[in-house]
Amino acid sequence: MARNVITMRDLEGVEAGGEVQLAPGTLITPLAQEEAERRGIVFRVLQAEEAPAPRAANQPPQTRTIAIGADHGGFELKEKLKEHLRDWGYRVLDLGTDSPAAVDYPDFAEAVALAIVRGEAQLGIVLDSAGIGSAIAANKVPGGRAAMCYDRATARNSREHNNANILSLGARLISPEAAREIVAVWLQTPFAGGRHERRVEKIRAIEQRYSGRR
Protein backbone atom coordinates (compact mmCIF):
# COMPACT_ATOMS: atom_id res chain seq x y z
CA MET A 1 0.00 0.00 0.00
CA ALA A 2 1.37 3.43 -0.90
CA ARG A 3 2.22 5.63 2.07
CA ASN A 4 0.99 9.20 2.53
CA VAL A 5 3.22 12.10 1.57
CA ILE A 6 3.26 15.65 2.96
CA THR A 7 4.26 18.41 0.53
CA MET A 8 4.68 22.15 1.05
CA ARG A 9 1.19 22.69 -0.35
CA ASP A 10 -0.24 20.70 2.56
CA LEU A 11 1.19 23.30 4.96
CA GLU A 12 -0.49 26.31 3.36
CA GLY A 13 -3.39 26.35 5.84
CA VAL A 14 -1.30 25.56 8.92
CA GLU A 15 -0.55 28.45 11.27
CA ALA A 16 3.03 29.24 12.30
CA GLY A 17 3.90 27.20 15.35
CA GLY A 18 1.07 24.77 14.64
CA GLU A 19 1.03 20.99 14.61
CA VAL A 20 0.43 18.54 11.79
CA GLN A 21 -0.65 15.04 12.73
CA LEU A 22 0.77 12.24 10.58
CA ALA A 23 -0.18 8.62 10.13
CA PRO A 24 2.66 6.15 10.73
CA GLY A 25 4.89 5.82 7.64
CA THR A 26 3.99 9.25 6.23
CA LEU A 27 6.78 10.76 4.11
CA ILE A 28 7.67 14.46 4.28
CA THR A 29 9.21 15.99 1.18
CA PRO A 30 12.40 18.03 1.68
CA LEU A 31 10.76 21.35 0.77
CA ALA A 32 7.90 20.69 3.20
CA GLN A 33 10.44 19.95 5.94
CA GLU A 34 12.20 23.25 5.22
CA GLU A 35 8.90 25.16 5.28
CA ALA A 36 7.92 23.54 8.58
CA GLU A 37 11.23 24.48 10.17
CA ARG A 38 10.96 28.05 8.87
CA ARG A 39 7.46 28.49 10.35
CA GLY A 40 7.94 26.45 13.49
CA ILE A 41 5.44 23.77 12.48
CA VAL A 42 5.73 20.50 14.37
CA PHE A 43 4.97 17.08 12.90
CA ARG A 44 3.47 14.52 15.29
CA VAL A 45 3.17 10.88 14.27
CA LEU A 46 -0.06 9.38 15.54
CA GLN A 47 0.00 6.15 17.48
CA ALA A 48 -1.56 3.15 15.78
CA GLU A 49 -4.81 3.51 17.75
CA GLU A 50 -5.08 7.19 16.80
CA ALA A 51 -4.39 6.77 13.08
CA PRO A 52 -7.34 6.93 10.67
CA ALA A 53 -8.56 3.73 9.08
CA PRO A 54 -6.77 2.79 5.85
CA ARG A 55 -8.44 3.44 2.50
CA ALA A 56 -10.66 0.62 1.30
CA ALA A 57 -9.01 -1.63 -1.27
CA ASN A 58 -11.70 -0.84 -3.85
CA GLN A 59 -11.48 2.93 -3.36
CA PRO A 60 -9.13 4.49 -5.90
CA PRO A 61 -6.60 7.00 -4.53
CA GLN A 62 -7.02 10.62 -5.55
CA THR A 63 -3.55 11.22 -6.89
CA ARG A 64 -1.61 12.01 -10.01
CA THR A 65 -0.11 9.58 -12.50
CA ILE A 66 3.58 10.00 -13.30
CA ALA A 67 4.86 8.59 -16.60
CA ILE A 68 8.47 7.44 -16.50
CA GLY A 69 10.78 6.12 -19.19
CA ALA A 70 14.48 5.44 -19.60
CA ASP A 71 17.01 3.88 -21.90
CA HIS A 72 19.56 1.35 -20.69
CA GLY A 73 21.68 4.10 -19.13
CA GLY A 74 18.80 5.23 -16.95
CA PHE A 75 17.18 1.85 -16.31
CA GLU A 76 18.61 1.23 -12.85
CA LEU A 77 17.77 4.71 -11.57
CA LYS A 78 14.28 4.46 -13.10
CA GLU A 79 13.59 1.37 -11.04
CA LYS A 80 14.69 3.11 -7.84
CA LEU A 81 12.62 6.22 -8.58
CA LYS A 82 9.54 4.09 -9.21
CA GLU A 83 9.77 2.82 -5.64
CA HIS A 84 9.97 6.36 -4.27
CA LEU A 85 7.05 7.54 -6.39
CA ARG A 86 4.86 4.73 -5.18
CA ASP A 87 5.91 5.32 -1.59
CA TRP A 88 4.87 8.96 -2.02
CA GLY A 89 1.43 7.91 -3.21
CA TYR A 90 1.74 8.45 -6.97
CA ARG A 91 0.55 6.09 -9.66
CA VAL A 92 3.44 5.13 -11.95
CA LEU A 93 3.09 4.57 -15.69
CA ASP A 94 6.30 2.76 -16.64
CA LEU A 95 6.94 3.08 -20.37
CA GLY A 96 10.23 1.16 -20.42
CA THR A 97 12.85 0.08 -20.92
CA ASP A 98 12.56 -3.10 -18.88
CA SER A 99 16.21 -4.24 -18.80
CA PRO A 100 19.76 -2.87 -19.04
CA ALA A 101 20.07 -4.10 -22.64
CA ALA A 102 21.06 -1.34 -25.06
CA VAL A 103 18.15 0.64 -26.54
CA ASP A 104 17.61 4.11 -28.04
CA TYR A 105 16.63 6.94 -25.69
CA PRO A 106 14.41 8.87 -28.18
CA ASP A 107 11.86 6.05 -28.20
CA PHE A 108 11.23 6.30 -24.47
CA ALA A 109 11.39 10.08 -24.27
CA GLU A 110 8.76 10.28 -27.01
CA ALA A 111 6.55 7.75 -25.24
CA VAL A 112 6.61 9.74 -22.01
CA ALA A 113 5.93 13.04 -23.77
CA LEU A 114 3.01 11.51 -25.66
CA ALA A 115 1.54 10.17 -22.42
CA ILE A 116 1.58 13.74 -21.06
CA VAL A 117 -0.01 15.47 -24.04
CA ARG A 118 -2.65 12.72 -24.37
CA GLY A 119 -3.61 13.11 -20.72
CA GLU A 120 -2.57 9.59 -19.72
CA ALA A 121 -0.29 11.10 -17.06
CA GLN A 122 -0.02 14.53 -15.50
CA LEU A 123 3.77 14.74 -15.32
CA GLY A 124 6.66 12.71 -16.70
CA ILE A 125 10.24 11.73 -15.95
CA VAL A 126 12.78 10.65 -18.58
CA LEU A 127 16.26 9.29 -17.94
CA ASP A 128 19.36 8.41 -19.87
CA SER A 129 23.06 8.55 -19.05
CA ALA A 130 23.40 12.34 -19.39
CA GLY A 131 19.76 13.47 -19.58
CA ILE A 132 20.43 15.75 -22.53
CA GLY A 133 19.24 13.56 -25.39
CA SER A 134 16.01 12.59 -23.67
CA ALA A 135 15.21 16.24 -22.98
CA ILE A 136 15.80 17.15 -26.63
CA ALA A 137 13.66 14.26 -27.86
CA ALA A 138 10.79 14.93 -25.43
CA ASN A 139 10.71 18.60 -26.43
CA LYS A 140 10.08 17.63 -30.06
CA VAL A 141 6.60 16.42 -29.09
CA PRO A 142 4.19 19.42 -29.27
CA GLY A 143 3.04 20.16 -25.76
CA GLY A 144 6.07 18.62 -24.10
CA ARG A 145 8.14 20.95 -21.92
CA ALA A 146 11.10 18.91 -20.74
CA ALA A 147 13.73 20.36 -18.43
CA MET A 148 17.03 18.73 -17.58
CA CYS A 149 17.64 19.30 -13.89
CA TYR A 150 20.73 18.51 -11.84
CA ASP A 151 19.91 19.93 -8.39
CA ARG A 152 17.01 21.14 -6.26
CA ALA A 153 17.30 24.74 -7.49
CA THR A 154 16.96 23.84 -11.16
CA ALA A 155 14.11 21.45 -10.33
CA ARG A 156 12.21 24.18 -8.48
CA ASN A 157 12.87 26.79 -11.18
CA SER A 158 11.76 24.53 -14.03
CA ARG A 159 8.35 24.05 -12.43
CA GLU A 160 7.84 27.48 -10.88
CA HIS A 161 8.99 29.56 -13.86
CA ASN A 162 8.71 27.27 -16.89
CA ASN A 163 5.80 25.00 -15.96
CA ALA A 164 7.88 22.03 -17.11
CA ASN A 165 5.80 18.88 -17.43
CA ILE A 166 8.71 16.49 -18.03
CA LEU A 167 11.80 16.13 -15.86
CA SER A 168 14.96 14.83 -17.53
CA LEU A 169 17.73 13.31 -15.43
CA GLY A 170 21.25 12.14 -16.24
CA ALA A 171 21.57 8.87 -14.38
CA ARG A 172 25.35 8.77 -14.60
CA LEU A 173 25.82 12.41 -13.56
CA ILE A 174 23.91 12.43 -10.27
CA SER A 175 23.62 10.04 -7.35
CA PRO A 176 20.40 8.12 -6.63
CA GLU A 177 19.93 10.19 -3.47
CA ALA A 178 20.33 13.45 -5.40
CA ALA A 179 17.86 12.19 -7.99
CA ARG A 180 15.34 11.40 -5.24
CA GLU A 181 15.68 14.93 -3.84
CA ILE A 182 15.34 16.49 -7.29
CA VAL A 183 12.21 14.49 -8.08
CA ALA A 184 10.63 15.30 -4.70
CA VAL A 185 11.16 19.04 -5.15
CA TRP A 186 10.09 18.98 -8.79
CA LEU A 187 6.83 17.17 -8.09
CA GLN A 188 5.75 19.40 -5.23
CA THR A 189 6.63 22.78 -6.77
CA PRO A 190 3.63 24.49 -8.38
CA PHE A 191 3.75 26.79 -11.40
CA ALA A 192 3.87 30.39 -10.17
CA GLY A 193 1.83 31.84 -13.04
CA GLY A 194 1.78 35.64 -13.25
CA ARG A 195 4.55 37.02 -15.43
CA HIS A 196 5.77 33.46 -16.01
CA GLU A 197 2.47 32.52 -17.67
CA ARG A 198 3.06 35.14 -20.34
CA ARG A 199 6.48 33.69 -21.08
CA VAL A 200 5.26 30.11 -21.21
CA GLU A 201 2.55 31.25 -23.61
CA LYS A 202 5.29 32.65 -25.84
CA ILE A 203 6.99 29.27 -25.80
CA ARG A 204 3.69 27.71 -26.90
CA ALA A 205 3.38 30.34 -29.64
CA ILE A 206 6.84 29.47 -31.01
CA GLU A 207 5.84 25.81 -31.03
CA GLN A 208 2.67 26.58 -32.97
CA ARG A 209 4.47 28.79 -35.50
CA TYR A 210 6.91 26.07 -36.44
CA SER A 211 4.74 22.98 -36.03
CA GLY A 212 4.68 20.95 -39.24
CA ARG A 213 7.87 22.53 -40.59
CA ARG A 214 10.93 20.46 -41.32
Catalytic positions, written as ranges: 161
Query: How do beta strands 146-148 and 91-94 pair?
Result: unpaired
Give phi and psi for 157, each to the nearest 5: -65, -40
CA distances from 55 to 1, 48, 190 (A): 9, 15, 27
d(CA 112, CA 125): 7
Distance CA 126, CA 109 (A): 6
Q: How far, in Å, CA of 171 to CA of 179, rounded?
A: 8
Amino acid identity of residue 55, one-letter, is: R
Neighbours of 57 (CB within 10 A): 6
Phi-psi region of 119 (alpha: psi -120 to 50; beta: other; left: phi over 0): left
Distances from the Cα of 125 to the Cαs of 59, 64, 203, in angstroms? 27, 13, 20
Indicate the DSSP class of residue 71: -
